[in-house]
Structure 1
Amino acid sequence: MGRVKAATHRWWIVLITVVFLTGCASTRPPAKPSNLCSIFKEKRSWYKDAKKANDRWGTPIQIMMAIMHQESSFRHDVRPPRPWFLFIPLPRNSSAYGYPQAQDPVWDEYVDEAGGFFSSREDFGDSIDFIGWYTNKSRKLNGTSLWAADHQYLNYHEGWYGYRKGSYKKKSWLLATAGSVKRRASNYGEQLRKCNL
C-alpha cells in the first residue's frame, strides 16, 4: 500500500512539473523575434490567432506583429517600471500591461465593444485581436490606412485624439520609433510571404 501511495505521489509531482514547464514555455518570448517565420513555427497557435485577427479586422499580420514587438517584445506580463521614493514603491505612471501594452481605459473599451469578459492582456490571441480592433478604429476615426505601419503605430502610441491633433509631429524620437515599426513590418511581410505555414 505504501508503494502505491509513493508511486501516486511521484506521478502527481511529474504531472505538476510538466504542466508548470508547459505554461512557462507558452509564455516565454520567441527565440528569434526578428524573424516572423521562426516566431510562427515556434509558437504554432500564434499564427492561427494572428490570421483570425487579420480576417476579423483586416489589419495585415505583419503590422499587428510589428506593433506588438515594439510595445512588449512579445513578453506577456510586461508593465512600465514602478518609481520608488527611498524604499517606498510609488504608483506606476501608466496602466499599460501585457503583450499589447494596452492601458486600462482603452482595454475596457475593447472588451465592451469586441472582446469578452474573460479577455486578457496576457493572452496572445486576445492581445493580437485588440491590436487588430485598435488599428481598424484608427482607420475609421482618422482615415489611417491599415497598411501604413508607421501611422498606425503613431495612432496606437498617441491615441486617436492625440494623432488627430498631430501631437506626434514635435516628437522626433517617436517619429523614429514609428519608422522602426514600419521597417520591421516590411521585413515581417517579406518573411511571411516565404513562410511555409
Structure 2
Amino acid sequence: MGASHSKQDTEQVFYNPVPIQVSSELATQLSDTSLSPEVSPTRHAILDQSVRAKISAEAARLRGQRDSSHDHDDDTSSSDGLGGVDIVQREIEAALERENLDRERGMAGDATTAAAAGADGAHGDVKNSTVLLGDLEEVRQKVDRYRVRASLADHLGVKETREAVASCYQANPTSTLNCWSEVAAFRSAVAELEQQYVDSLR
C-alpha cells in the first residue's frame, strides 16, 4: 500500500583505494593446512565415538543372534556361540585398549628425549592419565598441608588474645581506651601468625 510512496535509496558502491592482496606465504600455508592428513583432536574423538557405537551395535546384534539361536537350539550350538561372541568382544576391547594406550604414549612424547634434544614437540605437553593422576594427588597433598596450617589449633595465641579484647570491650563499654594493652597483645599475636605463614610458604 505505502510501498509505492516510499522513497527508494540509491545503491552506493564503495571502492577500496588499495587493492586487497594475499601474500604467497599465507596462501601456501592455507593450502597446506587444508590438505594436511592430520586429524584434529575433536574429529578424532568423534570418529572414536562412532567406531565404539558401531562396535557396540554389532555386539548387540551378535547377542541377539546368540539369544535367538539359544532359543531354537539348546543342545550344541548355543554353548559354542556364547564362547565365540565373548571371545570376540574381549579381543576387540583389548585391541581398542592397546590402541588408546599407544596413542596416549605417542601424544605424551618422551619428556627426556625432548629435553635432551632441546626441541618442544607438538604433542610433548599432552600428559597421559597416570601423570595426571600423580599431579592431582600432589595438588591434594598441598591442599591438605594448607588446611593443616590454617587450623585454629596452631593459632591459640590469636584466639586467646581476641577473646581477651572482646571481654575487655564488654567490661568497659564506655571507656574502650582502657583495653589498649589487650589490643596491642592481639596485634602482636596476629603479626607473629602472619610471619609464621610467610615463613611456611618459603
- Which interval holds the TM-score relative to the shorter structure? under 0.3
Q: Per residue, is there more helix in 1 or in 2? A: 2
**Which of structures 1 and 2 has the bigger CA Rg?**
2
Indicate the structure whose relative CO is greater, using CA pairs within 8 Å and at least 6 residues apart: 1
